[in-house]
Amino acid sequence: MLTIFVDMMGFLIVLPLLPFYAEKLGATPTTIGVLVAAFAAAQLATAPLWGRLSDRYGRRPMIISGLLMSAIAYVLFEQAGTLWLLLASRLFQGFGAGTNGVVQAYLSDTVPADRRTEAYGWLTAAASAGVMLGPAIGALAKSFTGLGPGYLAAGLCLLNLVSAWFLLPEPKRKEGSTAGQAPTGATRRAFGQVLKRPLGSIGSLVWIYATGMMAFMAMNGVLALYLARRFDVDETTIGWFYVYVGAISLIMRSLFLGRAVDRLGEVRLLRIGALTIAAGMLALPSAANFWQLALAAALVPIGTAFLFPTGTALLSMRAADGETGSVLGVQQSIGGVARMTGPLWAGFLFEHVGIRSPFWVGSVLMVLAFFFAAVVRDETPLSEATPTVLPDAPS
């Protein structure tokens, strides 16, 4: 949790500033969409590899390696005097973020299945705390200190690396399990399940994640530009919007998610989360003032607090023993395609169709995610029932 908190704090110091930095270098909304998508493209390319390496060599070395790449990325961000260098910084950020699946696999190694959703909620609550504080630090650094936000983020990342080196242990694997010896072809089998059986127990959860992530990243790709045009937000004030959203996400994941899981179960929360995000994206472009904007924006972190932790927890429960890292790596890989394509079409629509259109399309996508969630059923975790993942196993 500490590692994720500091990592996300550094990430969000620079992320809200990206569109404003890019526009100063001559970028159009479509180009900004490409810059946002570059992060996801790099993450897509590396996520399965990180997951496979973590299954074989351990979670801890991969997490530390990802932190080092992130530190390099933040230095490049601060040094960027051209769009090409800004693009390079985004690629390095994506390389480092490819370890997200490893972090999730780390948690699955250390938490019993019946408490895993709540644990994922706490992990994402730590991330949300970073999301809340990072933009505020970036805004204050930009407004008052004159300290480059990129250098500040890089310093935090290096501090995080040192603390992870001394404080983050390698998780113990189950005695007699195949953990640490990822079965040959585990990643290929997981991809096969997702592509051949999209409504199966593995495939449906991966597609819910991918669809939700595409809509969410499409919104984030143009959000700063939209707020700048509608509400005169600039690089010194955009951070406070992210602070507000991050605070709601933190409260939801740390105080309400565990209770909601106990009362409603993961599957119901999955469906509620999809519909709540859809409502938020539909309401955001209709807001006429800051109060309406605040109410509409609150729906999105509420929905993501329900959707993403429950979906990931359910997926980890259905992964075979020893293949969790590979399955979650595939989730991150396909999610990476969604993260990459979402900002691309969002930037294009923003520039050529209308500034509200990306939000409307995102809302439609979340309705589609709800229909995927409607086929998900409660079932015994596959990892507890059989030692292997069978591509044609019944859902």
Tens digit of pLDDT for each residue in 142-201? 666 556 788 888 888 888 888 888 888 888 765 544 444 445 466 677 777 777 777 777
Report the alpha-carbon distance of residue 22 to residue 83 in Å, rounded.
7
pLDDT at 143: 66
- Residue 29 in tokens: 């909304």
Report the alpha-carbon distance of residue 149 to residue 78 in Å, rounded.
7
Residue 227 has pLDDT above 60, yes or no: yes
Provide the b/e sequence for 34-68 (b: ≥16 CB within 10 Å): bbbbbbbbbbbbbbbebbbbbbeebbbebbbbbbe
pLDDT at 369: 93
| Percentage of residues of the chain with pLDDT beyond 90 | 26
Report the alpha-carbon distance of residue 359 to residue 331 in Å, rounded.
24
* Bigger pLDDT: 183 vs 217: 217
Residue 318 has pLDDT above 60, yes or no: yes
71 exposed, middle or buried (CB, 10 Å; 0-12, 13-18, 19+)?
buried
H-helix segments, the chain: 2-14, 18-24, 29-57, 59-79, 83-97, 100-110, 116-140, 149-167, 186-196, 203-231, 238-251, 257-264, 266-283, 290-318, 324-352, 357-373, 382-385
Average pLDDT over residues 326-355: 87
Average pLDDT over residues 122-131: 78
pLDDT at 145: 58
For residue 387, what pLDDT band results from cuts at 50, 70 and 90?
very low
Q: What is the largest CA-CA distance in the chain?
A: 60
Average pLDDT over residues 102-113: 79
**What's the mean per-residue pLDDT of the chain?**
82
Q: What are the sequence ranges of the domains in the chain?
A: 2-167+187-385
How many angstroms separate the Cα of 352 from the Cα of each of 135, 347, 356? Answer: 29, 9, 11
Residues 6+ apart with CB under 8 A from 187: 48, 51, 52, 326, 329, 330
C-beta of residue 275 within 8 angstroms of C-beta of residue 356: no
For residue 320, what pLDDT band results from cuts at 50, 70 and 90?
low
Residue 256 has pLDDT above 80, yes or no: yes
Residue 384 has pLDDT above 70, yes or no: no
Residues 6+ apart with CB under 8 A from 145: none
Backbone angles phi, psi at 355, to 5 degrees: -70, -15
Q: What is the DSSP letter of 286?
A: G
pLDDT at 229: 92
Backbone angles phi, psi at 356, to 5 degrees: -90, -20
User: Angle of helix 266-283 relative to helix 357-373, nearest 10 degrees?
Assistant: 160
CATH for 2-167+187-385, among 3.90.1150.10, 1.10.357.10, 1.20.1250.20, 2.102.10.10? Answer: 1.20.1250.20
- Residue 223 in tokens: 């959000």
Residue 394 has pLDDT above 70, yes or no: no
Residue 280 has pLDDT above 80, yes or no: yes
Residue 255 has pLDDT above 50, yes or no: yes
- In one-letter notation, the amino acid at residue 142 is K
* Bigger pLDDT: 380 vs 368: 368
| Percentage of residues of the chain with pLDDT beyond 70 | 88
Average pLDDT over residues 212-235: 91
For residue 226, what pLDDT band results from cuts at 50, 70 and 90?
very high
* Bigger pLDDT: 310 vs 318: 310
| Least confident among 10-14, 22-26, 207-211 | 10-14
Give the tens place of pLDDT for each residue, 267-276. Answer: 899 999 999 9
Q: How many residues does the chain have?
A: 395
User: Smallest Cα–Cα separation from 155: which of 43, 14, 39?
Assistant: 14
- Residue 60 in tokens: 């801890």
Give the tens place of pLDDT for each residue, 20-71. Answer: 889 889 999 999 999 988 887 887 788 778 878 888 888 888 888 888 888 8
Q: What is the three-class DSSP state of 395?
A: coil
Residue 141 has pLDDT above 80, yes or no: no
For residue 361, what pLDDT band results from cuts at 50, 70 and 90?
very high
pLDDT at 380: 45
* Bigger pLDDT: 107 vs 280: 280
Residue 204 has pLDDT above 50, yes or no: yes
* Bigger pLDDT: 265 vs 44: 265
DSSP-derived secondary structure for 25-71 = TT--HHHHHHHHHHHHHHHHHHHHHHHHHHHHH-HHHHHHHHHHHHH
* Bigger pLDDT: 175 vs 323: 323
- For tokens 């961000």, name the residue: 77
Give the tens place of pLDDT for each residue, 83-106. Answer: 999 999 989 888 887 777 787 778
Residue 249 has pLDDT above 50, yes or no: yes
